[in-house]
Amino acid sequence: MSDANQAIKDTITGNDVVLFMKGTKEMPQCGFSSRVAGVLNYMAIDYADVNVLADETLRQGIKDFSDWPTIPQLYVKGEFIGGCDIITEMTLSGELDTLFAENGVTFDKEAADKIREANG
C-alpha cells in the first residue's frame, strides 16, 4: 500500500467525519469545496478537513482511493459518501441528517432545517 493510501486510510478511520477538499474549512479554495464545507460548518459538524492542494500525491491518491474523479469528497465513519452534488442533494432531502444521526454524529438539526427552508 502506498504512503498516500495509508495516510488516507488513517485519516478516515481516525475521524468520524472527513472532508478532502481544496483549501481548508476556514478558507476553501474552490466553489464546490466551499459549498460542502459551508453546509458542514453551518450544521456544526465536527470534521477533519484535508487540503489536497497541499500535496499532489494526496490529491491524486484520494481520487484513486475512492475511485471518484472530483474533489471535495466526504467520508463518514470511514465510508465514502460523495462529492458536492451528492452532499447538496442529501442535505436538501434530509438524507444527510439521517446519515449523521445513524452514525452518532452530532449536528444542528435546526440549522439543517433552515438550509432546506432557504432552498425549498
pLDDT tens for each residue of 63-113: 999 999 999 999 999 999 999 999 999 999 999 999 999 999 999 999 999
How much of the chain, in percent, has pLDDT values that exceed 90?
95
Instruction: Report the distance separating Cα 59 and Cα 55, nearest Å.
Output: 6
According to CATH, the topology of domain 3-119 is: Glutaredoxin (3.40.30)
How would you label 95-113 residue by residue, b for 16+ Cβ within 10 Å and e otherwise?
ebbebbeeeebebeeeebe
In which element (H, E) is residue 19 found? strand 17-21
DSSP state of 2: -
Reported as a pLDDT band with limits 50, 70 and 90, residue 3 is: confident
CB proximity list for 60: less than 8 A, separation 6 or greater: 4
Lowest model confidence (mean pLDDT) among 4-8, 15-19, 38-42: 4-8
What's the pTM value of the predicted model, to 2 decimals? 0.96
Three cell numbers written together for 52: 489536497
The DSSP secondary structure of 53-116, one letter per residue, reads GG-HHHHHHHHHHHT--SS-EEEETTEEEE-HHHHHHHHHHTHHHHHHHHTT----HHHHHHHH
**84 annotated binding-site participant:** no
Neighbours of 80 (CB within 10 A): 18
Please give the pLDDT value at position 1.
Answer: 57
